[in-house]
């Protein structure tokens, strides 16, 4: 009972502090984005994202596999855990990166404008071939301009901490473009916060950036096998963190 009361009070304080920090710094970044190209203010953005995790009281660590190339523009495939994922991935990936994000998020005041200005790519559910083609060209343009792209291949947040089935779209895009893929595992985040709960538990988030996987000249017939391979790589450390 006392432990639960402690978690509730702790979460209330952290959410309040995080909200004040978020809206204060977010307003500053929006104003900064009016006058400067996002590439030029990438450092304050990264400081902001990392600081959100500090204010939330969560430990954080990034591990890089020997075959990960931090200089290579790539498509990062990551598991989706909670609302803090955006702050986690921007803190972990050591290069200029932007993400695919639901189109509805771009309608959120301040946040939506910032995401659009900073170059995130809007996607809609069930958009069909025309939507896929538009997204494909935007991803291709980002990669050609040295901007890596992050994709939550599950398409939704986990309900049990495990990595759910991947959707095929990101792998089809990688095969079309011939872009390298970097599997990325977020571990410990489900223990920190989970979908449907506002409690923030003491935890440490560890992000594993796995070996870069080449897709150049990959036959279309091997896209499913690639998707299964990447899923297994992403899921392995996540499963271990839950055991």
Residue 33 has pLDDT above 90, yes or no: no
pTM equals 0.92
Residue 37 has pLDDT above 90, yes or no: no
User: What one-character DSSP code corresponds to residue 190?
Assistant: H
- The per-residue pLDDT for 138 is 92
Q: Which of 179, 103, 112 is nearest to 139 (CA)?
A: 179
Indicate the domain borders of the chain: 58-242
Residue 166 has pLDDT above 70, yes or no: yes
Residue 110 has pLDDT above 70, yes or no: no
Confidence of residue 164 (pLDDT cuts 50, 70, 90): very high
C-alpha distance from residue 83 to each of 1, 13, 96 (Å): 27, 17, 21
- The per-residue pLDDT for 29 is 79
CATH of domain 58-242: 3.40.1130.10
**Average confidence (pLDDT) over 164-173:** 96
List, edge to edge, every strand of the sheet that includes 75-78. 59-64, 204-209, 181-187, 75-78, 148-152, 97-102, 121-123
């Amino acid at each position: 009972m006392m432990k639960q009361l402690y978690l509730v009070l702790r979460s209330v304080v952290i959410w309040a502090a995080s909200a004040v920090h978020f809206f204060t710094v977010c307003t500053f970044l929006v104003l900064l984005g009016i006058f400067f190209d996002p590439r030029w203010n990438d450092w304050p953005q990264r400081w902001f994202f990392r600081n959100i995790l500090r204010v939330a009281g969560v430990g954080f660590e990034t591990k890089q596999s020997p075959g990960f190339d931090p200089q290579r523009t790539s498509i990062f495939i990551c598991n989706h855990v909670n609302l803090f994922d955006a702050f986690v991935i921007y803190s972990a990936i050591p290069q200029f990166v932007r993400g695919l994000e639901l189109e509805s998020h771009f309608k959120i005041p301040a946040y939506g404008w910032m995401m659009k200005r900073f170059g995130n790519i809007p996607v809609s559910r069930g958009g069909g071939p025309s939507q896929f083609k538009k997204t494909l060209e935007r991803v291709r343009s980002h990669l050609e301009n040295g901007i890596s792209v992050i994709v939550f291949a599950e398409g939704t947040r986990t309900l049990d901490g495990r990595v759910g089935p991947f959707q095929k779209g990101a792998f089809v895009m990688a095969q079309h473009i011939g872009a390298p893929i970097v599997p990325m595992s977020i571990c410990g985040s489900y223990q920190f916060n989970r979908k449907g709960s506002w409690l923030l538990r003491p935890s440490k988030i560890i992000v594993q950036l796995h070996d870069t996987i080449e897709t150049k000249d990959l036959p279309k017939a091997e896209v499913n096998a690639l998707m299964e391979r990447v899923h297994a790589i992403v899921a392995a450390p996540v499963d271990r963190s839950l055991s």
